[in-house]
Structure 1
Amino acid sequence: MDEQALLGLDPGADPPYRQRAMAYFEQLKESRDAWEVCAQALAKGLYSDDHVKFFCFQVLEHQVKFRHGGLSGDQRQLIRETLMKWLQFQVLSAQPEKIFVRNKAAQVLALTFVAEYPALWPDFFFDMLTLVGLDPRGVDIYLRTLMAIDGEVVDRDTLHAPEVARRNTLIKDAMREQCVPSLVESWFQILHAYQRSHPELTCQCLEVVGAYVSWIDLGLIANQRFVDLLLSHMAVEELREEACDCLLEMVNKGMDPVEKTKLVESLAQVLQSAGFFYVEQEEDVDFLAKFSRLVNGMGQSLVLSWTKLAKAGSADDAGAALRALEAKVALVLRLLVHPDDDISANVVAFCYEYLHVLKQLPELNDGQKSNMEAIMLAVVKKLTYDDEYNFDNEGEDEAMFVEYRKQLKMLLDRLAQVSPELVLESVRRVFTDTMRKWQSASFMEVEVAIRLLYMLGEALPASHGAHFSGDAVKTGALQDMMTTLVSCGVSDYRHASVSLEFFETVVRYDKFFVAEPLHIPNVLMAFLDRRGLRHDSPKVRSRVAYLFSRFIKTLHKHMTAFIEDILTRIQDLLELAPPDKAFPAPLTSDDQLFMFEAAGVLIVSGESPPERKRALMRALLAPLMDAFRLLLDQLPLETDEETQAAVADCLSHAVGFVSRTSKAFSNKQTVKQCGCTEVYRDCLRAFLPALSCPVRRGALRGCVRSFLHRMIICMEEEVLPFIPAASEHMLKDCEAKDLQEFIPLISQIAAKFKRQVSPLLQQVFMPLVLAIFEVLARPADADDQAAALERQMLRRSYFSLVHTVAGSGLSEVLAGQGPENVERVVFTVIQGAVDFPDPVAQKTCFAVLGRLVELWGGKAGMTGFSDFTYKHIVPACFLAPLKPTFDLSDAQTVLTLSEVAATLKTIYAQQGPELLEFLRRDYLPSLHLCPDVAQELCHVLQQPDPKVLKTYLKVFFQRARL
């Protein structure tokens, strides 16, 4: 072997040595026989360096995995002998190999087994067991190999190709027939021999048994001697967790439901007799976590057995399964209420499925009702926060508890499906008792009581979307609890979790206030004072801002009398935070968006006359406009990057806040009807100069552009006079991204106003197009992938714009640009259809061409367009699909081909026999197509069903490329 190259295998080797080692590795892998030196090195134990041995196994791995079929019989024999001799070294060696070497060896052994068993190496396991015996080092390799084989042949998490799945089935069938009983016997001997002296080997063996039990004869494992052995392992601290996992795999094995019931019952009796059901006395929580998974698996298996037997009509057997199931509930409940949430979480799935069983029974007995009550009590207990929960700095533990709470909520929902009365009464009792003493109760008790009321909203179905109509019992209970919540003073509780739960619940049941509006003033005050928007906790203030917005939007009709008072009280929360941030603002800018939306809803939905609404909206927005003008003047003067960014953020926030108020308008309450048009016009006048600001242009253009989009929706035609100036600003010193983001604005105007904006679009269309051409013509770095993508997206946006203009009844916008410009635009569309390998853009281009033929073709169309069609559009329909970059197997490209077919059909509709003659006599012969093919295409083109041509063209172009 190349000793110099081997030096590069050391992790600390210099780069040149490592590169040489990599090159040597590739050389050995690809050579027909050079790899044999690695086999000899392993067989003879020539190297003591772990990295060299790992290297040799990697070379062998490549041969077995990728080149086994091409190896000669002697070479395959060499690999077998190498592996057996290396294994013999392990048995005789005083020092075991490093784990990474052992794992790689096991992987190669497994790959060899898969390649050669049973046809070429039927005695694989017997050869291995003969060598290994009960030597610990040999047993270790044997067990690792078995797990590697499981990974290759059995592992259900791996998706195998059909031929690999067939191979795996053949291997398992052969193993069952030839060697599984011997393997099981070896496992028993290992488990028995090493349970005290080598617990790590015993654990490995238990893992192997658990892996293989899913597909071998269960009787080989589920017998007296094996179960007794596993139970003895459960009494050994180092082995008990693996023993639990092994038993769980046995329980999870697919089998006949009657047999499964018997298996689970016998296992349960043995475990109970051995004292494992006394979980309260067990202090090892890690073991209990494993044990709870085992119990959960036993319970789920019994549920599955009952379901199958009940469906099959086997009443006696189903009854036995149900009794077995019921007998496990007491144990499961003790695990469900365990202080450790991991242990509790492990049995939630069984509880959920057990409740589903109860839901299907015609009638519940007293024991089953008691079980449901116990589950309900457990849910209440386990939903409660513990003292260690860190509300100020929530980490992984807190996140896990939140997830655990979601599981408990599912359990509550299922309980409510089985017995809504039980859930309603339980929640009512806990809530009423807690609210009665909230001032002296811990925050955990108060929070969970309100939380349960909140959770009822999803647990109990609402009638017609409201909880306060329909079922009188439920409605009465909910009304009583909500009345208590908003009137007992609990909103004064000073813990953040209670405050949040209070406001969440108030908003969840906002329809309560429709039924009882007299409570609205008290709740509004809670929102507005130190309990809500002025709370000490930023987290509470932030969430309450969102909830306040929702509360206002739902109940604004009931707040007419309070509108101006509310606006006055929240005025300081609507101020634009200065860029220096010398004092922390009570709300973040994101939170303020909700506040401005709420303020807008209050103003717009009130019963004031339009003049008053205009005055209130101006009072709300004027400070933002004034601050915007001052900051915009200040921005170019700032030289510090950080200060510039802060000022630009403030400007963006001001625009965003104004934009958010416009969400309050609707078809019934438009800007014009509310008398607010002039206010928003003033905002546009204030904001548009930002488009020309020389610094932080991207951020400012983005926010103003978004505002224009919003104003097109709200102000309708009132916004149109501002578009030419906005367009002029946007097209100065622009980049690809600027244009790409501006084009949708013009498209929106064209699509919304159509012919009404024809004069405006005629004015802005060509300057925009020329700006696009200028940006696309700039030299670009071929290696700059980001820039290339931007140019591609700009092209797509440009073609989309032309399509929108052509498709919105605005063809005069194109026609009015003068002959030279029209020709230039149409040629770019032809170029986009043929020259750029971008199926998204090509599809749009052909859609444009089809539309132009529709508009300008025929006798009454544009002069000379018919000639243009024959010279350029018809050839484009053939040249594009004939290009090698036009991938006919790509779904997007097939859509483009459909558009090509539609374009040809449109031309045929205009030109008729003249097109057919042109294709037969002039164009198709120029593509060297034989007359029969040309005739066939013309025949298909005449078929009335457009789908016929679409289907045909794919075959036509596939043949034409050959």
Structure 2
Amino acid sequence: MEQTLKPLLRFPIPDKPEMTSAALQGLASLAMAPTAESQNMAAQFVERLKQSTDGWKICAEGFTSGVYHQNDHVKFFCLQVCEHYTKSGYRHASVEDTSAMKSFILTCIGMESNEASRSKSFIRNKLAQVASLVYVSDFPQRWPQFFHDLMACLTSGPLAVDMYLRILLSVQQEVVDRDISQSPEEAQRNTLLKDAMREMCVSELADSWHQIMTSYETSHPDIVNMCLEVVGGYVSWMDISFFANDRMVTLLLRFLVKEDLREAACDTVHDIVSKGMEPVAKTSLVETFMRLLDSAGIFNCNDDDVDFLCKLSKLVNGMGIGLILCRQRLASKGSAKNIGTTMAALEGKVPYMLRFLGNEDDDVSSAVVEFASEYIAMMKTLPSMSEVQKKHIEGLLFTIIKKLKYDESYNFEREGEEEAEFQEYRKRARVIFNNMASLDCQMMLARVHELVSHTLPQWKNADFRDVEVAIALIYNLGEAIPASQGQHFSGNPEKASALQDMMRLLITSQVSRQGHIAVMLQFFETVIRYDKFFVCEPQHIPEVLTAFLDDRGLRNNSVKVRSRVAYLFLRFVKSTKGHLTPYLEEVLKQMQELLIINSPLNGFGHTLSDSDQLFLYETASTLIVSSSLEPERKQVLMKDLLTPIASKFTIILSRLNAEQDEKTQQAYANCLNNSMSLASRASKGFSGQQTMRACGCVSVFTELLSIFLSALEVTTSQRALLQQGVRQYLHRMVVCLEEEILPFLPQAMERLLKQPDAKELYDFLPLINQIVMKFKDGITPFLSQVFMPLVMTVHQVLSVPADVNDRVSAEDKKMLQRGYFLFLSTIVCNCPDVLKDQEMQNLNQVLMSLIHGAVEIPDPNSQKSCFATLKKLIQSWGGKDALPGFPEFIYKEIIPACFEAPMKPTFDLSDGQTTLALGEVASCMVEIFQQRGHEFVGFMRTDFFPSRGMSEENAVILIDTMQSSPLKTFRKWLKTFFMEAKS
């Protein structure tokens, strides 16, 4: 079938109405075809219809002919074409075409009023959209009777009413909806449209809505619900008298007690009371509706109807927010009398807010959170709070505490979407809690203290959710009441704060033995938050250490708890390390089995993951290093910690070398890499004060380094992973060791640079840079020897041909180029004698690679690095004590590069990174002038500029600007210079 339809796309769109059927028949067949190609052909055909002068007429006739009544695809396509026309050329349509469009819209409404020819909902919505676009163009000049003509169709029955309401909703979205951004022209157009409607038809519209709702209240609740949506949409710009009147309010109150209408009715009331009005009138409106709703018992609904409760909560939220805004506006005007009335109205809504906020369903509660937040914000602006307001704040505190409790259905081990939603809600509730503290800090402390003092001692008989909330409140106080507002902890018991009492109770009550995952996690998080408590009361440290180490913490049955506690234990040790020496060896003994490395040799039988163990090794190291033990004892303990790594490493490495199975090789390599990571992490226990040398631990780590370097001899596919581990360990040793690491560098470099690929070499260069920046001149002799072999290796790897389609290899080479130029920059800035020590031929090769990178490589980061390095060389070697031959290099290579690079097509001066590269070009030129002075100026004017065809005038301007302007100004000028030169 597709082969017979393809020629259709090659024929011109017919211009005559009688050919409509022929034109759309193929579209109907294409639309029904299941293949992507057929769908694409149909879309192309529709696009051609859109571009045709009379395409919309063909589609209009096709839609109203009834031929395609059963083909939703064709009908929708036809309306798409008509929609395109109303958005593009219809505004300038002829009288004949506007008449045709009007006829089309009314004919469609007539068809859609008939049960036999009505379309599906999505097509009726599209038709409504087309009608609203026609309204925007035609009302009021070309079609002043637009709304009256629509209302004339209402007698045709419920389908006609449904279509009428859909069009009104679409008009509202097109003209009124504030959530849709509008251009200034559209906003002006919409204002004129609303003004015209106010003059011509709003009264009739309001009457039609009342008639529709009373006529279809019983028979068609769906129509009434849609009509209520229309009312809510139009209330924002129509006069309030059309809505706040006896007949409308009577209807709304009646609907609010009907299950199939009350949600929509509640939304409409919300829209009415949210209407922008003067504060006094708005207050009166809200109070009137509140009184009527209360009298009708609307707020005494069944708590099982969550959907309706959400609507009521939203309504109370709208009332509260509206009254707060009224109060703000009145305060700005200084209207004290009216402020009192509005404040009384507002305080009257707070009990409703508290009721909905405390609802068990979080959706109901969430709907009124904004009111609660804004109420607190308003309270902060008042000079003082009344007794009623204090009670409201206290009630709000109790409500928030209640809502912080976990639901019974919460799945702690497998948290899904519902759990994520609760956590998000809990965050919002905590924000309210924190904000309340700034209103009445003492009240909050007292109430939380009461709750904690009641709950924690009774934890064995309490619901775990109540226990968790009690601990969570202690934790939250740290954010709600920062220490800057008052000292939380004191070494003097007489000055101990309520928070210090609560922390003491948290530890001594033994609540950490409650056992539930949520309680355990909250306990450990709270302990870490208040580390200063243990400085004041260090006698509680042993109990907490025990909790971390036993089945409450690191040996908990829950993976989630074990993993989190591994991290928190490290933080606890770091914050209390000055008090831990008495417990050091016992803690290390308790940790011993947890430090056993996961490996194929023990079947990976371990309760902690590899990443969790990283924290434990750093913890153990921190305990040893920060203790007050003698260096000799620290060395013994550190050796006890790390010797098992060395022993197992040697065994597994030999197994790897003998293994043939690739999966087993991978398991061994992962274990070796993890072993090196653990040793690297242990080195983080040292600091600037407690160095590796001062603690007597140098030999422990250098012995490990010697063992780890043997992994670089592996020739299997796991080589890259092992190299990564060795590099990581070397990085740490450069930080922690002094010259003790230097003897290992030749061996490390030799093995790491053995047949490297681009990525391995790129990953290696930062290690060399780190060594250079630490040891500087002290490593110059060694670097002078290895420098050219390393440079040659880089060039060799970059010159290896690569598949043009291999994007990964191309990116690796690009990054290696950047790394190479950064390496040269590091050498020049820290060990410039390394370059001086090279043979002239080799030095020239390196310098030319910088010129090549500056000019030929279309990478602004590399170019910026190259020019920055050249500038540093000019500064060091280009002055009075110039390196022999270097001034000639400046004139022959560097100066031309400063002009050739910016003139390259790939040098995009509109790009930010490229502009930074150009800034380095400018710095280079200025540095040459500062070092070579008038010699440079003479060369530029008599030699360089004439050879480049630059006029004497431009040359003078460039040199004068460079000589007289600050560098920042010259950079901007140079950018303009090259932009004009390239234009």
Same topology, TM > 0.5: yes
Which of 294, 310, 326 aligns to 2:331? It is 310
Q: Is the 8 A contact 1:454 1:505 kept in 2?
A: yes
Q: CA deviation at 1:613?
A: 0.6
Give 1:824-835 correspondences, 5 Å limit. Answer: 824-835=845-856
CA distance in 2, matches of 1:698, 1:766: 24
Residue 935 (str. 1) matches residue 940 (str. 2): no
Q: CA deviation at 1:451?
A: 2.1
Change (3 A) 1:597 1:18: same
Q: CA deviation at 1:41?
A: 1.5
Residue 770 (str. 1) matches residue 792 (str. 2): yes
Residue 546 (structure 2) aligns with: 525
Residue 411 (structure 1) aligns with: 432
Secondary structure of 2:31's aligned partner = coil
Q: CA deviation at 1:673?
A: 0.6
CA distance in 2, matches of 1:345, 1:951: 53
Which of 253, 270, 295 aligns to 1:273? It is 295
Residue 505 (structure 2) aligns with: 484
CA distance in 2, matches of 1:785, 1:206: 58
CA distance in 2, matches of 1:817, 1:334: 82
CA distance in 2, matches of 1:465, 1:903: 56
Give 1:5-84 correspondences, 5 Å limit. Answer: 5-7=26-28, 9-10=30-31, 12-34=33-55, 36-48=57-69, 49-66=71-88, 78-84=100-106
Which of 671, 679, 691 aligns to 2:712? It is 691
CA distance in 2, matches of 1:465, 1:790: 55
Amino acid across the alignment from 2:742: L
Secondary structure of 1:438's aligned partner = helix
Residue 838 (structure 1) aligns with: 859
Q: Is the 8 A contact 1:7 1:17 kept in 2?
A: no
Which of 244, 260, 278 aligns to 2:266? It is 244
CA distance in 1, matches of 2:843, 2:197: 77
Residue 803 (str. 1) matches residue 825 (str. 2): yes
Amino acid across the alignment from 1:393: R
Give 1:221-260 correspondences, 5 Å limit. Answer: 221-260=243-282
Q: Is the 8 A contact 1:467 1:509 kept in 2?
A: no
Secondary structure of 2:383's aligned partner = coil
Residue 618 (str. 1) matches residue 650 (str. 2): no
Identify the range of structure 1 (91-100 vs 142-151) with the bigger mean alpha-carbon deviation.
142-151
Q: Is the 8 A contact 1:42 1:82 kept in 2?
A: no
Q: CA deviation at 1:804?
A: 2.2
Q: Is the 8 A contact 2:908 2:914 kept in 1?
A: yes
Amino acid across the alignment from 1:292: S
Which of 660, 673, 676 aligns to 1:652? It is 673
CA distance in 1, matches of 2:607, 2:65: 76
Q: CA deviation at 1:671?
A: 0.8
Amino acid across the alignment from 1:381: K
RMSD across aligned positions (CA) = 2.8
Number of equivalences? 960
Secondary structure of 1:532's aligned partner = coil
Residue 850 (structure 1) aligns with: 871
CA distance in 2, matches of 1:762, 1:478: 62
Residue 885 (structure 1) aligns with: 906
Identify the range of structure 1 (693-702 vs 601-610) with the bigger mean alpha-carbon deviation.
693-702
CA distance in 2, matches of 1:607, 1:314: 69
Which of 419, 423, 448 aligns to 2:444? It is 423
Q: CA deviation at 1:506?
A: 2.2
Residue 863 (str. 1) matches residue 890 (str. 2): no
Which of 356, 360, 366 aligns to 1:335? It is 356
Q: Deviations over 1:673-703 (max 9, x none)?
A: 1111111111211222333433223322223
Residue 542 (structure 1) aligns with: 563
Which structure 2 residue ranges, 5 or more long, are not aligned? 1-21
Q: Is the 8 A contact 1:424 1:474 kept in 2?
A: no
Residue 680 (structure 1) aligns with: 701
Residue 780 (structure 2) aligns with: 758
Residue 875 (structure 1) aligns with: 896
Residue 587 (str. 1) matches residue 608 (str. 2): yes
Give 1:96-111 correspondences, 5 Å limit. Answer: 96-111=118-133
Which of 518, 535, 549 aligns to 1:497? It is 518
Give 1:371-520 correspondences, 5 Å limit. Answer: 371-463=392-484, 467-469=488-490, 475-520=496-541
Q: CA deviation at 1:297?
A: 1.7
Change (3 A) 1:525 1:128: same
Q: Is the 8 A contact 2:487 2:497 kept in 1?
A: no
Q: CA deviation at 1:705?
A: 1.7
Q: CA deviation at 1:940?
A: 1.4
CA distance in 1, matches of 2:982, 2:142: 47
Secondary structure of 1:942's aligned partner = helix
Q: Deviations over 1:740-796 (max 9, x none)?
A: 222222222223332222223323333333233223223233334333333322222
Change (3 A) 1:94 1:471: farther
Q: Is the 8 A contact 1:573 1:587 kept in 2?
A: yes
CA distance in 2, matches of 1:224, 1:594: 71
Q: Is the 8 A contact 2:491 2:537 kept in 1?
A: no
CA distance in 2, matches of 1:329, 1:99: 42
CA distance in 2, matches of 1:386, 1:723: 59
Change (3 A) 1:823 1:570: same
Q: CA deviation at 1:938?
A: 2.3
Residue 362 (str. 1) matches residue 386 (str. 2): no
Residue 189 (str. 1) matches residue 211 (str. 2): yes
Q: Is the 8 A contact 2:31 2:42 kept in 1?
A: no
Q: Is the 8 A contact 1:43 1:81 kept in 2?
A: no
CA distance in 1, matches of 2:666, 2:271: 59
Q: CA deviation at 1:166?
A: 4.8
Which of 546, 555, 558 aligns to 2:576? It is 555
Change (3 A) 1:868 1:158: farther
Which of 739, 751, 756 aligns to 1:717? It is 739
Q: TM-score, normalised by structure 2?
A: 0.92
CA distance in 2, matches of 1:815, 1:155: 73
Residue 929 (structure 2) aligns with: 908
CA distance in 1, matches of 2:906, 2:159: 59
Q: CA deviation at 1:828?
A: 2.7
Change (3 A) 1:152 1:795: farther
Q: CA deviation at 1:481?
A: 2.3
Residue 143 (structure 1) aligns with: 165
Identify the range of structure 1 (215-224 vs 290-299) with the bigger mean alpha-carbon deviation.
215-224
Residue 200 (str. 1) matches residue 226 (str. 2): no
Which of 761, 769, 772 aligns to 1:747? It is 769
Identify the range of structure 1 (921-930 vs 934-943) with the bigger mean alpha-carbon deviation.
921-930
Which of 589, 608, 612 aligns to 2:629? It is 608
Amino acid across the alignment from 2:645: L
CA distance in 2, matches of 1:251, 1:473: 55
Residue 18 (structure 2) aligns with: none
Q: CA deviation at 1:52?
A: 0.9
Residue 780 (structure 1) aligns with: 802
Q: CA deviation at 1:594?
A: 1.6
Residue 692 (structure 2) aligns with: 671
Q: Deviations over 1:144-186 (max 9, x none)?
A: 3444444444444444455555555554555455554444444
Residue 619 (structure 2) aligns with: 598
CA distance in 1, matches of 2:143, 2:722: 73
Change (3 A) 1:597 1:330: same
Change (3 A) 1:355 1:83: same
Residue 7 (structure 2) aligns with: none
CA distance in 2, matches of 1:187, 1:151: 18
CA distance in 1, matches of 2:923, 2:183: 40
CA distance in 2, matches of 1:156, 1:384: 37
Q: CA deviation at 1:619?
A: 0.7
Change (3 A) 1:533 1:836: same
Amino acid across the alignment from 2:735: I
CA distance in 1, matches of 2:366, 2:150: 43
Give 1:107-122 correspondences, 5 Å limit. Answer: 107-115=129-137, 117=139, 121=143
Identify the range of structure 1 (355-364 vs 434-443) with the bigger mean alpha-carbon deviation.
355-364
Secondary structure of 2:461's aligned partner = coil
Q: CA deviation at 1:315?
A: 1.3
Q: Is the 8 A contact 1:45 1:86 kept in 2?
A: no
Residue 568 (structure 1) aligns with: 589
Q: Is the 8 A contact 1:9 1:52 kept in 2?
A: no
Change (3 A) 1:797 1:184: farther
Q: CA deviation at 1:261?
A: 1.6
CA distance in 2, matches of 1:471, 1:69: 82
CA distance in 1, matches of 2:407, 2:505: 25
Q: Is the 8 A contact 2:30 2:41 kept in 1?
A: no
